[in-house]
Structures are given as structure tokens and as C-alpha cells.
Structure 1
Amino acid sequence: MAATLAILALVVSLAALALSVRTATGARRSSGDDLPADAAGLRREVAALRAEAVGALRHLAVVRYDAFDEMGGRLSWSLALLDDAGDGVVLTSIRGRNEARTYAKSVAGWQSEQELSPEEAEAVAHARMARS
């Protein structure tokens, strides 16, 4: 279980790093001194911030389940991490009696080219309904 959590932490950290690099290269830094003083300027600033937030992973959902009959405690899980366009990743950890396996499937437009398990599809559906 500790190894699975470590792998999950690594994957999420790498995704956050990639997102922050993408944002840092295209984003404007605002110190507060350069904010517009007029309402029209503030509206443009808010619109720019909203446009930047579109790529943020804001639709998240976790589905926990028992992957095998002999296991209890719903130790397996699928986690959907998606942006407003439905692009992102579904991470799945399937816990067995003696091992755990972790999978990552890319998602674009709320769908994956790889076949999603029922639990992964459920995580994507819940993430899509999630309000940010």
C-alpha cells in the first residue's frame, strides 16, 4: 500500500509540475502594482485569469471498490484528474491479496482511447459533474 501511495504521489507531483511549467511559460505574473485601475481593465484581467484556469485540473473524483471477492475494505480505487475540457488522466490502483497494480490512462474530451473499466468510467462521470 505504501508503494502504491508513493507512486500516486509521484504521478500527481509530475502532473502538477508539468501544469505549473505550462502555466509559468504562458502566464502573466501580477504583483498587484500592475493591476488596471478602471473597470474595463479589471474585466480584461478577470477574463485572462479565467482563460488560464481552463487548463487547471479542477474536476476530480475518486471511486473506491473491492476489485476481488477475497479482499475487503474497498482498497482498490480509480482517481480522475481532469480540466474543464475533460482532458487529463485516470489513475487506478487495484489491490490484491499479495500485490497492488497501478495504471494510468489518458483522457481527452471526457473519453479515453483505452477502454475504461466501469469504475474508471464512473470516476470520469463523477468528475464531469463536479463543480469547481
Structure 2
Amino acid sequence: MPDLSAHDAGTVALVACVVAALALLLAAWALLRLRSTRRQLAVLGAEGGHDVLTLMARQSAQVAEVRAETAAAMAEARRARAEVADSLRHVAVVRYDAFGDMGGRLSFSAALLDDGGDGVVLTSINGRSETRTYAKGVKAGASEHALSPEEEQAVSFARRGEGARR
């Protein structure tokens, strides 16, 4: 092997020093990055000293629990909506004078219907000496018994959600 001249040996030594300096800079940079990463992990893992993976697993379990509770709440809401649809929640009252010689609109027809238009019409006709009360079933907004104009109005108002009327 040929002998290295003093000039070549100096060049090699200079290159080795530059490479060593670059390695020291790279090591210092890596230490700074490691310190920064540890600080960030310490902030993320501050809860009870657990690491990030444990916290993420716990969070994932909590999300799954919330999803299950939400699904149960949605099922309960669907059941409640179905139950409410069958309730008599559409109500309308039509008050009127059944006889020309009486005032005060003491007679009335009241329709109590569910969302499908099924329910009952209650009518009370007040005269001077007596009061008569009638109940007629309603199916899909119609009755198998003849409805008076006031009863038809009450059913119509109830189906439209217009409540008490004159």
C-alpha cells in the first residue's frame, strides 16, 4: 500500500474532524427532539401517569359505550314516537248554539284523534230542560255513524291541529 503524504494525511484528518462535528450536531439535534417528544408525551399522559396508548384504549372504550347508549336511546325514542302516534293528542272543540232560542254556546262537539285520524267525537247538546251526550267512533277521519256538521268541523280541525274553534 502506498504511503500517504503529509498533505493527504492532513486532508483525511480534516475530513474526519468535519464528519465528527456533523455527528455531534446530529446527536445534539436528536437529543433536543427527544426532550421535546418526551415533554409532549408527558403532557398527553399526565392523567394518572398512563401512556398515550392506554389513554387511547380507554377513550375508545368510552366512545363504544357512548355509541351503545346512543343506540339504546334512539330505540327508546322510536318506541316513544310509536306510542305517541297512538295517543289521542289531536283535540278540537267546536262550541255552538244547538237551538235558536238558547244562547251562550252551551253545546259542543269535541274530536279526540291520534296521528292516524282514529279516535272519538263527543257531542253534548244542551237544551232548556235536558242535556244529551253522544259518542261516535272515528276511523281514519271518518265515522260509520252520520256526523253532524259541527262534529265534522271538530274532526277536520283536530286533523289539521287547529284546536278549539267556534
TM-score after normalising by structure 1: 0.69
RMSD: 1.8
CA distance in 1, matches of 2:76, 2:89: 20
Describe the SS at the equivalent of 1:102: strand
2:120 pairs with one of 74, 89, 97:
89
- The within-5 A match list for 1:10-49 is 38-49=69-80
Q: Structure 1 residues 131, 76: CA separation in 2 closer, same or farther (over 3 Å shift)?
A: closer
Q: What is the CA-CA distance between 1:65 and the residue it aligns to?
A: 0.1
Rounded Cα–Cα distance in structure 2 between residues aligned with 1:129 and 1:85 = 12
Residue in 1 that maps onto 2:53: none
In the alignment, which residue of structure 2 is the partner of 1:112? 143
1:100 aligns with 2:134: no
Which structure's relative contact order is higher, taking Cα pairs within 8 Å and 6+ residues apart? 1
Deviations 1:17-70 (A, max 9, x none): xxxxxxxxxxxxxxxxxxx95222211111111111111110001000001100
Please list the CA deviations of residues 55-113 of structure 1 after superposition, one character each: whole Å capped at 9, or x if unmatched: 11100010000011000000100011111111111000111111111111000001001
**Equivalenced residues, count:** 97
Match for residue 122 of structure 1?
Answer: 153
4+ residue segments displaced more than 4 Å: none
Identity %: 60
Higher percent of residues as helix: 2
Per the alignment, in what secondary structure is the counterpart of residue 112 of structure 1? Answer: coil
**Does the 8 Å CA contact 2:92/2:162 hold for their aligned counterparts?**
no
Cα distance, 1:131 vs. partner? 7.3
2:99 to 56, 68, 90: 68
Against the structure 1 CA distance between its residues 45 and 89, is the aligned structure 2 distance closer, same or farther, given a 3 Å change threshold? same
* SS across alignment from 1:97: coil
Higher relative strand content: 1
Instruction: Describe the shift of the 1:109–1:41 C-alpha distance in structure 2 as closer, same or farther (beyond 3 A).
Output: same
- Relative to 1, partners in 2 of residues 1:131 and 1:98: Cα closer, same or farther, differing over 3 Å? closer
